[in-house]
Amino acid sequence: MRALHAGRGLALRGSPCSPGIAHQRGLSVSTQLCRAAGNGAPAPGGPRRGALVVFEGIDRCGKSTQCSLLLESLQRRGVRAELWRFPDRTTPIGGLINEYLQKKAALDDAVIHLLFVANRNEKREEMLRLLAGGTTLVLDRYSYSGVAYTAAKGVPHLDAGFCRAAETGLPAADLVVYLDLDPEQSAARGGFGSERYEKVEFQKKVRSQYGALADGRWLRLDASQPAEQLQAQVAAAVQRAVERAAAGEPLGRLWDYAPMPLPAAVPDVA
Ligand code: Z5A
Ligand code: MG
C-alpha cells in the first residue's frame, strides 16, 4: 500500500479545467471563478464557495482510500473538487517533514510541530482562493492531525492548547470526516510500522487526542466497515456540506468558527 504513497504530498488535482491547474501553470485563476471579498456569503450573481472537507484518523484507518473515492464521486456529480494531502511533502518545508517522518532527520518536537503548521500556511492563500472560486477541497489530514499527533507526545510545553493556538489564521473544516479505528486493527492492515509515529501505543494516544478535539462538525465513522459502505455515508454528509457552502454558509476559522473573509477577485491576465 505504501506504493500508493510515492506521490504523498502531491496535490491530486481534480478536473483538468480547475482553477488550481491554471494556477499551477502560472496562469491566473479566471475571474469567472473568483469572487469579491466578503464574509463568505456568495456575491450577488457570483460564484458559490466550495466546501472544505477534511479526513482525519490514525495511521492506516483508510483516509486516502476514502479521499480518492470521494473525489471520484464528486467529479461524477459535476462538483469541481481537488484532493490535497498534508503534509505536502513536495515543498522545501514538506521535504524536511518527510525526512523527519522517515527517520532520516532528528528534529526538536517544537520545531517539527511548527514545520507542519508552516506547511499548511504555505498553502493557505491557495486554499482560500480555490474555496472562494467554488472548488471543494478534500484534505487528507490537516490541522486536527497537527494537534492530535503533537499533543499525543505529552511534551508539557506542547500541549493541545499550544497546538491549537499555532493553527490560528487557518480556515476550519466545514466537515471533518473522522475515521475511527482501533490501533490494533489499523496495524493489522499492513504497511504499518515504517514511519516515525507508526507504533500502536502512540496511535492509541493520538486516538484519545482526536476524541478530545471532535465537535459538532465532525462525522465519526466506524472505520472497520467495508470501504464502499463507508463511502456511502461520507458522500451523503459531503453532499450536505457542499450544499451549505454553496448556499452561503460562511467559511469559519479555527477554532471558533467566526466567519473568515475570502480573498478578493483575482484579475484575469490570461
Ligand atoms: N502528522 C503530524 O504529526 N502533524 C501534522 O500536522 C500532520 C501529520 C498533517 C503523515 O502520514 C504523518 O504525519 C502521520 C501524522 C503526521 N503519521 N502517522 N501516523 P500520512 O498521512 O502520510 O500517512 P497515514 O495517514 O499515517 O497513513 P496512510 O498509510 O496514508 O493511511 P490511510 O490513508 O489512513 O489509509 P489507506 O492508505 O487508505 O489504507 C490503509 C490500508 O488499509 C490499505 O491497505 C487499504 O487497502 C486498507 N483499507 C482502506 N480502507 C479499508 C477498509 N474500510 N477496510 C479494510 N481495509 C481498508
Ligand atoms: Mg494516507
pLDDT digits over 88-99, tens only?
999 999 999 999
Query: What would the pLDDT profile of 120-169 be if each residue is shown by its tens digit?
Result: 999 999 999 999 999 999 999 999 999 999 999 999 999 999 999 999 99
Average pLDDT across the chain, whole number: 85
Sheet holding 136-140, edge to edge: 81-85, 136-140, 52-56, 175-180, 218-222
SS3 15: coil
**Beta strands, E only, the chain:** 52-56, 81-85, 136-140, 175-180, 218-222
Instruction: Name beta bridge partners: 178.
Output: 56, 220
C-alpha cell at 169: 489564521
- 213 vs 208: CA distance, rounded Å: 9
Return the pLDDT at 119. 99
Please give the domain boundaries of the chain with CATH numbers for all domains. Answer: 48-246 (3.40.50.300)
Q: Please check whether residue 132 is in contact with residue 261, taking contact to mean a CB–CB distance below 8 angstroms.
A: no
Q: What percent of the chain has pLDDT over 70?
A: 80
The Å distance, Cα 43 to ligand 1 centre, comes to 38
- 149 vs 207: CA distance, rounded Å: 9
- 228 vs 215: CA distance, rounded Å: 25
Closest residue to atom 48 of ligand 1, CA basis: 62
User: pLDDT-derived band of residue 33, with 50, 70 and 90 as boundaries?
Assistant: very low
Cβ of residue 186 lying under 6 Å from some atom of ligand 1: no
Cβ of residue 141 lying under 6 Å from some atom of ligand 1: yes
Is a pLDDT exceeding 80 seen at residue 58?
A: yes
SS3 95: helix
Residues with CB under 5 A from ligand 2 (ion): 63-64
pTM above 0.85, yes or no: yes
Closest residue to atom 11 of ligand 1, CA basis: 59
Cβ of residue 100 lying under 6 Å from some atom of ligand 1: no
Q: Which helix (H) or strand (E) is 34 found in, with range?
A: none
SS3 127: helix
